[in-house]
């Protein structure tokens, strides 16, 4: 049993003797979705089984104020439209005439040649490691907010919430109720989510692939999605520059026993073939949980299960794919062996997996790696993408397959 498993066991078995005042939960206000002329803002607490998210019990009659617009709502979220593109707005939320939260967001432009965003994977542990990475993300976000390329959103590569203890037949505090989300999502990213949305992809720990079926229900409820439609796979577009495809590489199921949703005969694959072919932007960027190329040390590559996706990516002109699952940073070669695509693994947002993979890299077609906690800061300028793995205190210094330092930031270019 790892040290993290032990800590989760102690957390799950330790009785709580805190006073009611110490247990009081703050109201969280967060941006669920952004567009060029619209936004969705949500609010709630994590003090009950379903007290935040799309279907949560209403806190009361609410008013969302954005600029000179006032949107009334009885549910714990509201969407606003008729906004100006690429414009910063301050917002306030009041429930039963009492102010409960505020923040700001910046709408997206309709035309763009640049974009900055974060990538975060395997993060929802509630541990000190997660909070340190979250703090580093906040610092980088604040730094970039004053630049010409502010961070617009976060995409996740799965395992958004982990159980405190997984006994195989039952996982404890796994994310199936909102109480589990306080220290594993809403508190660590409290400042970030008041300004930018998270666009997640599901991991095996987000459902009954590894944990509880109810985890997937909460995952679909607590995040908000483009078009305000809960989805295990979906797409969204940033201006006329990039289109993102969040995919489900898991065996989570919403009913019955776990089963794969990534099969070539499945609904998701047909949907992807159609939608990625219709994309009319330069950058087409898929992201999911399981890595097609992976040198370990714990998990193997998922090429056998996901091989049918790769020709579709190649035909659509995809040049980069983000994934998680392995708790380190890795990036593949970009050559005939990888269909000319750079596959990037970012799965150490809350838990690090130790083990030297240097001897496995060449055979696995992995060009560089680093065993450190991190997130990715990604910047697109025209036809060039720069991917910088950011550690708790500074950018990472990955090692190459040859043993020397790998050149950073990682560059990905379009023809």
DSSP 318-380: --EEEE-SSSSEEEE--SGGGTT-EEEEE--SS-------GGGHHHHTEEEEE-S--EEEEEE
User: Which tokens sit at 199?
Assistant: 């666009």
Confidence of residue 167 (pLDDT cuts 50, 70, 90): confident
Q: In a 3-state reduction of DSSP, which class is residue 23?
A: helix
Instruction: Name the class of domain 27-106.
Output: mainly beta
* Cα–Cα distance for residue pair 324/329, rounded to 1 Å: 9
Asked whether the predicted pLDDT for residue 80 surpasses 50, the reply is yes
Query: How confident is the model over 201-250, as pLDDT tens digits?
Result: 999 999 999 999 999 999 999 999 999 999 999 999 999 999 999 999 99
Confidence of residue 168 (pLDDT cuts 50, 70, 90): confident
Confidence of residue 326 (pLDDT cuts 50, 70, 90): very high
Give the residue-averaged pLDDT of 283-308.
Answer: 97
User: Which tokens sit at 357?
Assistant: 């993979």
Asked whether the predicted pLDDT for residue 375 surpasses 50, the reply is yes
Out of 136-140, 220-224, 400-404, pick the least confident: 400-404
Taking CA atoms, 406 is separated from 47, 348, 389, 398, 411, in Å, by 46, 19, 12, 5, 11
Residues with Cβ within 8 Å of residue 250, at least 6 apart in sequence: 158, 202, 203, 204, 206, 207, 209, 260, 261, 262, 289, 290
Asked whether the predicted pLDDT for residue 25 surpasses 80, the reply is no
Q: How far is C-alpha 243 from the geometric centre of its chain's CA atoms?
A: 16
DSSP 126-138: -SHHHHHHHHHHH
Taking CA atoms, 342 is separated from 15, 177, 204, in Å, by 47, 37, 23
What is the per-residue pLDDT for 403?
87
Domain boundaries, the chain: 27-106, 110-413
Say whether pTM exceeds 0.85: yes
CB < 8 Å & 24+ apart, contacts of 52-57: 52/28, 52/76, 52/178, 52/181, 52/186, 52/222, 53/178, 53/218, 53/221, 53/222, 54/221, 54/222, 54/224, 54/228, 54/230, 55/221, 56/178, 56/221
What is the per-residue pLDDT for 12?
39
Asked whether the predicted pLDDT for residue 138 surpasses 90, the reply is yes
Confidence of residue 74 (pLDDT cuts 50, 70, 90): very high
Give the residue-averaged pLDDT of 354-373.
Answer: 96
Helix or strand holding residue 153 (H, E): strand 151-156
CATH number of 110-413: 3.60.21.10
Asked whether the predicted pLDDT for residue 23 surpasses 50, the reply is no
Residue 304 C-beta-side C-alpha neighbours within 13 Å = 2
224, 32 in Cβ contact below 8 A?
yes
Give the residue-averaged pLDDT of 371-389.
Answer: 98
Question: Over the chain, what is the mean pLDDT?
Answer: 93
Query: How confident is the model over 48-71, as pLDDT tens digits?
Result: 899 999 999 999 999 999 999 999
What is the per-residue pLDDT for 2?
41
* Cα–Cα distance for residue pair 9/254, rounded to 1 Å: 27
Residues with Cβ within 8 Å of residue 282, at least 6 apart in sequence: 241, 242, 383, 414
Asked whether the predicted pLDDT for residue 17 surpasses 80, the reply is no
CB < 8 Å & 24+ apart, contacts of 401-404: 401/358, 401/361, 401/362, 401/366, 401/367, 401/368, 403/358
Asked whether the predicted pLDDT for residue 24 surpasses 60, the reply is no
Give the residue-averaged pLDDT of 73-91.
Answer: 98
Query: How confident is the model over 184-197, as pLDDT tens digits?
Result: 999 999 999 999 99
The percentage of the chain sitting over the pLDDT mark of 90, rounded to a whole number, equals: 91
Confidence of residue 16 (pLDDT cuts 50, 70, 90): very low
Query: How confident is the model over 95-108, as pLDDT tens digits?
Result: 999 999 999 999 99
Residue that is written with structure tokens 């590489």 in the block: 249
Residue that is written with structure tokens 């509630």 in the block: 126
Phi, psi of 358 (to 5 degrees): -55, -40
Q: How far is C-alpha 300 from the geometric centre of its chain's CA atoms?
A: 22
């Amino acid at each position: 049993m790892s040290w993290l498993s032990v800590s989760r066991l102690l957390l799950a078995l330790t009785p709580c003797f805190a006073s009611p005042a110490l247990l009081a939960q703050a109201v969280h206000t967060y941006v669920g979705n952004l567009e060029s002329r619209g936004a969705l803002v949500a609010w709630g607490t994590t003090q009950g089984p379903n007290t935040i998210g799309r279907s949560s019990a209403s806190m009361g009659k609410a008013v969302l104020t954005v600029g000179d617009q006032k949107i009334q709502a009885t549910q714990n979220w509201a969407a606003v439209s008729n906004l100006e593109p690429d414009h910063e707005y301050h917002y306030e939320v009041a429930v039963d005439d009492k102010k409960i939260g505020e923040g700001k967001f910046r709408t997206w432009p309709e035309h763009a040649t640049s974009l900055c965003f974060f990538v975060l994977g395997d993060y929802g542990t509630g541990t000190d490691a997660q909070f340190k990475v979250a703090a580093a993300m906040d610092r980088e976000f604040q730094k970039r907010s004053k630049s010409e390329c502010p961070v617009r959103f976060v995409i996740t590569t799965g395992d958004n919430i982990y159980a405190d203890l997984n006994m195989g037949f039952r996982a404890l505090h796994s994310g199936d109720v909102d109480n589990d989300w306080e220290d594993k999502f809403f508190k660590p990213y409290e400042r970030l989510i008041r300004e930018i949305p998270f666009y997640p992809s599901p991991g095996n720990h987000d459902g009954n692939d590894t944990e509880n079926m109810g985890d997937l229900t909460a995952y679909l409820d607590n995040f908000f999605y483009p078009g305000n439609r809960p989805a295990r796979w979906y797409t969204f577009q940033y201006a006329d520059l990039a289109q993102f495809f969040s995919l489900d590489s898991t065996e989570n199921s919403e009913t019955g026993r776990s089963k794969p949703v990534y099969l070539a005969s499945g609904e998701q694959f047909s949907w992807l073939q159609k939608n990625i072919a219709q994309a009319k932007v330069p950058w087409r960027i898929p992201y999911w949980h399981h890595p097609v190329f992976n040198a370990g040390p714990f998990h193997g590559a998922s090429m056998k299960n996901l091989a049918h996706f790769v020709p579709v990516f190649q035909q659509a002109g995809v040049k980069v794919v983000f994934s998680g699952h392995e708790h380190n940073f890795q990036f593949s070669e970009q050559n005939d062996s990888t269909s000319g695509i750079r596959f990037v693994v970012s799965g150490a947002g809350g838990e690090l997996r130790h083990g030297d993979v240097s001897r496995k890299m060449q055979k696995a077609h992995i060009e560089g790696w680093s065993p450190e906690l991190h997130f990715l800061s990604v910047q697109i300028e025209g036809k060039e993408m720069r991917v910088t793995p950011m550690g708790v205190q500074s950018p990472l210094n990955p090692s190459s397959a040859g043993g020397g330092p790998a050149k950073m930031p990682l560059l990905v270019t379009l023809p």
